[in-house]
Structure 1
C-alpha cells in the first residue's frame, strides 16, 4: 500500500531534498509551496499559505497523509523586515497545521522542524548543546521557533496528536542559496570573485549536509519518541575559517580573504555545537556525507546556478 506524506514548505532548501528522498523511497508526496516550485518530479504541489487555516484543513482532509513534515518557515536568522509575516508563518502557521491534522480525523505522525536558533544565549562552557538546554532566543526568528515548539508540545499533551520536534542546527550542501555565509560565499566564488569580505571566522559552528538532515527527519518520523525534541546536527564543531577554506579549496582558486568588523555580530556565540546523542540513541541515523563532499557539491551547484545567470 502506498504511503502518503505531506511536506509543508516543499520548495525550501531542506524540503526539496526531503521530497526527493520520499519519492525515491516510493512515497506519494504532496507539498505546499508559497511562490516558487520545488522542481522535484513526482511531487503534487499545492499553493496554500501556511497560515490559511481553512485551506490547510481542506488539504489535509483530502490527502489524509500518513506523515506530515512541517518545514514551512520564514528563515531569517539576523534581520527581520516583516515581523508579522515571520510570526504568522513560523508560529501561527504551526498551530494551523496541527489544527488541520486534528480536524482531519486521521492520526498521522507530525514532524515539526524547529531550529537551534531557539537556544539563543547558551551559558559559557556549554560547548555541546543538549536538548534540555534552556531556550533563550535572541532573534525574532529564534523566538518564533521557540514559540512554535511550545505550541506543538502543548498540542501533543492536550490532544495526543503524535508529533516529534527536530531542532536543526546549521546545514548546507547542493542547492543552498540565499543570505547565508556559505551560500553567499559560494555564489560569489562561482561568479569569479577573487576577494571575499567576511565577518568573524573564529566562531565554531556545527554544519551538517542537508541530505543528512533529510535522512534524520525520515528516521525521526519513524522512530522518534512522541512529544520529544531532538537536535539535528553533526555533533562536530568547525570554525568558519575552516569552512571557508574548505569551500575555497573546492573551487580550486586563490582568493583574498578580508576581515570586515562591520560584519561581526555582537550576539554571536563563540561555540555552537549540537549534542546528538539522543538522535543517535533513538534512531538508526548516522551522517553519510563528509564535509569535504558537502562543500564540493555546494561549489558544483553554485557553478551551475551562476552558469544560468541566476
Structure 2
C-alpha cells in the first residue's frame, strides 16, 4: 500500500511517516521549505498552493491513501486553498483521504464541542481551517476530517513554548483552554482511520482540558524545573483575538479506534 503524506516534514507529518514506514507502507512525504529526514520515506518538494503541481504529484505517486497536514499560520493560500487542492487530487485518484483539521475553527465556550458541530471561527486562522474543511467535504465527501488540538511531544512547539515561559522568555495564557494530544497518539489514530470508511469530522484530542499555563506547570514538574519564574498572562490583557475555551469531546473516536488517546496529565506525570 502506498501512502502520500502532504506536509511530511512537519511535526505531525513526520510522525505519520515514521509510523507508516514501520507498519509496512510505501511512504512518499512532501516538503516545501523544510526537509524530510525520516528513513524509508521518498521525499518530494511540493507547493500546495499550486493546484496543478498537486495533481501532477498525486498522478505520479498513485497513492492508495493520502494524509493532508499542510498549514501555515496566517497563510490562507496554504491552509485553505492547499487543502482544497489536496482533496481534489485525492478524489480524482480514488485515494482515501484523512485531512487534519483543528479546534481553532470553533469560537470557544465552556461546554465541549461534539464532532459534528459546524465551525464558528472568530479569527483568521480558524476561518482558514473552516474553509479548508468546507472544501474537503465538497470535493471528497468520503474523507475523514480529524479535528485535533494542541499537539505535544518531544520537539513540539507547544512544549518549547512552555520551556520558554519557564525561563521567562515568553508568557502562557491562563484563560485559554485546550485538549492537548501526544503526537504519537494522533499519528496512530490517523493511520488507523485510513483503514476505515469513516467520513466527516471526528474529534481526536486528549481527554484533559488544561490552560496553557497549567500545561506549563505540568511540563515543569515533568522536567524537574522550578516553576517560580514562569511568566503568565491572559488573552484579554494582551488583546489576542483567539477562542478562549475549546474542549473537544473525543468520545466517538475513543469508541471507533483502538488507539488510546492519552491525557496530558498522564503523559507528563513522572
Query: TM (normalized to structure 1)?
Result: 0.78
1:139 is aligned to 2:123: yes
Instruction: Tell me which of 218, 232, 238 is aligned to 1:246.
Output: 218
- Secondary structure of residue in 2 paired with 1:272: coil
Give the alignment of 1:172-187 within 5 angstroms. Answer: 172-177=152-157, 180=158, 182-187=159-164
- 1:271-282 pair list within 5 angstroms: 271-282=245-256
For 1:204 and 1:15, locate their aligned partners in 2 and report how far apart those are by CA, in whole Å: 24
Structure 1 residue 97 corresponds to structure 2 residue 120: no
Question: Aligned partners of 2:24 and 2:10: how far apart in 1?
Answer: 21
Moved more, 143-152 or 130-139: 130-139
Secondary structure of the residue aligned to 2:129 is helix
Superposed CA RMSD? 2.4
TM-score (norm. length: structure 2): 0.89
8 A contact 2:175–2:234 mirrored in 1: no
Question: Which of 283, 290, 295 is the equivalent residue of 2:257?
Answer: 283
2:195 counterpart residue number = 222
Q: Is the 8 A contact 1:197 1:260 kept in 2?
A: no
Report deviation, 1:204: 2.9
Q: How far did residue 271 of structure 1 move? A: 2.8
Partner of 1:299: none
Deviation, structure 1 residue 207: 0.7
What corresponds to 2:17 in structure 1? 19
The SS at the match of 2:173 is coil
CA distance in 1, matches of 2:242, 2:86: 32
Q: Judging changes above 3 Å, is the alpha-carbon distance between structure 1 residues 44 and 197 closer, same or farther for their aligned structure 2 residues?
A: closer
Tell which structure's C-alpha radius of gyration is larger.
Answer: 1
Runs of 4+ aligned structure 1 residues displaced above 6 Å come to: none
Unaligned runs of 5+ in 2: none
User: Does the 8 Å contact 1:224/1:282 carry over to 2?
Assistant: no
Offset at 1:239? 3.0
**Pairwise CA distance, 1:33:** 0.1
Number of positions where the alignment pairs a residue of Structure 1 with one of Structure 2: 268
Asked whether the 8 Å contact 2:30–2:46 carries over to 1, the reply is yes
Partner of 2:52: 54
Shift, 1:138, TM fit? 1.4
Instruction: Name which of 61, 66, 69 aligns with 1:68.
Output: 66
Greater alpha carbon shift after TM alignment, 237-246 vs 28-37 = 237-246
Deviations 1:192-222 (A, max 9, x none): x3x4552432443211111111111112222
Q: Post-superposition shift, 1:243? A: 1.3
Q: Confirm or deny: 8 A CA contact 1:223 1:283 kept in the other structure.
A: no
In 2, the alpha carbon distance for the partners of 1:264 and 1:295 equals 31
Please name the residue that 1:110 is paired with. 97
